[in-house]
Every structure is written in C-alpha cells, then in structure tokens.
Amino acid sequence: MKSKSGTSSATPLWKDGWYQFSGHLPSPNFGPRPQGTTISLIVIHSISLPPGQFGGEEVQQLFTNQLDWEAHPYFKSIEGTQVSAHFYIRRHGELLQFVSCNDRAWHAGTSSYLGRSNCNDFSIGIELEGLEGQGFEAIQYETLESLSAALLQHFPIAHMAGHEHVAPGRKNDPGTGFDWSLVQKSLGLPKKFFPQSDGT
C-alpha cells in the first residue's frame, strides 16, 4: 500500500523543517521567518574554530552558545557572538543541523542578493568545515550535493551563493577554494542558479 510519501514504511525526508539524514543539534539562535517568506536561496559558508583547525567540537559549541571564550585567544575576538546556520558539513562529510529550515537562522548578517536584502529571512545557511580561500574535501561536496538535492525538492530554491556574494566587501567565505562549477555540474543546474561573479 502506498502512502503520500511513496511507500507505507518510508520515513519522510523532512519533518518540521528538519532533515532526516543529519544529526540534530538544536541551537537557540534563530527566529521566525517573516510571514509569507519564500525560501529561495542557499548561502554557502566556510568556518573552522580556531580558523584552520579541523575536527573539534568548537563550531558546534559556537552555534549552541556553549563555546568557552577563554579556551583560545581567537575566541576572545568573537566573544558573545550569537550565530547559527541551518547545516554544517564536516571534513569527513558528516552533516549536522542546528535550526529548522522553517525558521530563520543567523548566518548571513547584513546582506542582500539580487536586490533582496536580509538574506537570513529567505535563505538556508550551509557551513562547510574549512578555511576561507582553501579547498574542501570531495566527501563534503557529496554531502552538499545530496543535501542540496533534498532542499531543492522541498523548497522553491532559485539560487545558491556564497557569503562573499551576499555580503561583498564584508565577508570572503567560502572563497576561491570552493568549486562552484563542480556543484553546478553535479546538481545539473543552470549556471544562472549560481553567482554571476564566478565568471564560469
């Protein structure tokens, strides 16, 4: 017998904006999206804490307000920051989710894209564990591609851009080490879906 989701036993891919194939680490750093918002943009970021150091728990701690600001000199420079992203893709491809996609995560800050300001209102934020300007692992792209495909099925996403494209001059992530054309080709999407400034 078939249900709406296709099979009687299948777990739905999405539940209240939470993706089934991710670990869930709920963050208090979110708010409602403005009423009637169409979620149309994916914003790609890179992050590591301290910058360039991979594999720890610090990013998860930052997004859940549990980071010890005294644990590293760099952390003093971001002390008190309350931020989040919907998703975080670690170096070995693990996927974590912090905020329901139905809610507004705090990842883009002051931003605009294609004439629309306040990107947090209408975007999904995806952080890749990495260092701005440097490369990412093949398995991170694989996770990003499967997540993006699931997002595209569920939300009317029309564009994918980097933090550097929605906050130019203020932010530089994910930077030149991120392979936009690889993502474009593997998702089979038109080039106009991606940042025009990429030049490819």
Catalytic residue among 58, 94, 127, 142: 127
The C-alpha angle with vertex 175 and arms to 194 and 111, in degrees rounded to 5, equals 65
100 close to 43: Cβ distance less than 8 angstroms: no
| Shortest Å distance, C-beta 45 to Zn ion | 3
| Shortest Å distance, C-beta 189 to Zn ion | 22
Residue recorded with tokens 């670990």: 23
Q: If binding is defined by CB under 5 A, does position 173 make contact with Zn ion? A: yes
Assign 146 to helix, strand or coil: helix
Task: CB nearer to Zn ion: give 111 or 143.
Answer: 111
Whether 164 sits among the annotated catalytic residues: the reply is no
Q: If binding is defined by CB under 5 A, does position 104 make contact with Zn ion? A: no
Assign 64 to helix, strand or coil: coil
42 close to 174: Cβ distance less than 8 angstroms: no
Q: Which of residues 36-65 bind Zn ion (CB under 5 A)?
A: 45
| Shortest Å distance, C-beta 46 to Zn ion | 7
How many CB atoms are closer than 10 A to CB 175?
17
Q: If binding is defined by CB under 5 A, does position 163 make contact with Zn ion? A: yes
Q: If binding is defined by CB under 5 A, does position 165 make contact with Zn ion? A: no
Q: Mind telling me the catalytic residues?
A: 127
**Binding positions for Zn ion, rule: CB under 5 A:** 45, 163, 173
